[in-house]
């Protein structure tokens, strides 16, 4: 699933830049998507691997590429934000997510390479790595007692039930001129779930 949000220089939200939200994340613990994403390394099919990589890596790369071409040609620079996942971080990896996890790790690398190569054109590229958020995909999961127990035992802020608006302030910052010195970063928004020192899932 690829989502593109574009704002030009006439936007009331931010001037002299564009907002391009190049890729959305699919949560690997969600109901209808569970069978498509969560598999053991030996049970994962080539078709499932290709579908996940086409969405999370190839799709994000193609959108970012063509958006950045427009930014380059306009000579005004801009901001690209890739929505990754804590699954792409070493401490956020869980069993059953080989394709999803590795695709998000790859997306973080794509983010850094775009940032490295396009900074000279005043194009900033960052990724946001969210944890588990309340959404249509995850609403059934968020009602599970066992998940709340996991949150209480592993999450620093002791909650795991926020909705997307928790991300909007960070997105606004990254597209605003106040973040003109920020590029190539992976921003973690997970209530502290991946902080070193907290129990990991395998210890529960």
Determine contact, residues 155/45, Cβ cutoff 8 Å. no
Q: Report the alpha-carbon distance of residue 197 to residue 155 in Å, rounded.
A: 11
Q: Report the alpha-carbon distance of residue 17 to residue 9 in Å, rounded.
A: 6
Determine contact, residues 49/57, Cβ cutoff 8 Å. no
Of the residues 20, 100, 173, 181, only one is catalytic, namely: 100
Residue 64 structure tokens:
């970012």
Residue given tokens 């598999």 in the structure block: 39
Q: Report the alpha-carbon distance of residue 10 to residue 89 in Å, rounded.
A: 36
**Which residues sit opposite 125 in a β-bridge?**
80
Residue 141: C-alpha distances to residues 84, 115, 148 (Å)? 20, 35, 10
Active site residue 100: yes
Q: Which residues are tagged catalytic?
A: 100
């Amino acid at each position: 699933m690829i989502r593109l949000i574009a704002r030009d220089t006439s936007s009331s939200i931010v001037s002299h830049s564009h907002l391009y939200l190049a890729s959305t994340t699919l949560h690997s613990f969600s109901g209808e998507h569970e069978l498509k994403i969560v598999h053991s390394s030996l049970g994962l099919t080539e078709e499932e691997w290709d579908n996940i990589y086409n969405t999370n890596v190839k799709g994000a790369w193609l959108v970012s590429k063509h958006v950045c071409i427009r930014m380059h040609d306009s000579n005004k620079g801009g901001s690209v934000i890739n929505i990754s996942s804590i699954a792409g971080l070493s401490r956020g990896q869980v069993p059953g997510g080989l394709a999803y996890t590795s695709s998000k790790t790859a997306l973080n690398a794509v983010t850094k390479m775009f940032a490295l190569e396009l900074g000279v054109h005043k194009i900033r590229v960052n990724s946001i790595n969210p944890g588990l958020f309340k959404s249509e995909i995850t609403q059934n999961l968020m009602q599970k007692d066992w998940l709340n127990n996991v949150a209480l035992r592993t999450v620093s802020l002791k909650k795991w039930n926020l909705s997307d608006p928790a991300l909007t302030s960070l997105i606004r910052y990254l597209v605003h001129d106040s973040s003109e010195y920020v590029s190539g970063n992976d921003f973690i928004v997970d209530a502290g779930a991946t902080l070193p020192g907290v129990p990991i899932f395998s210890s529960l």
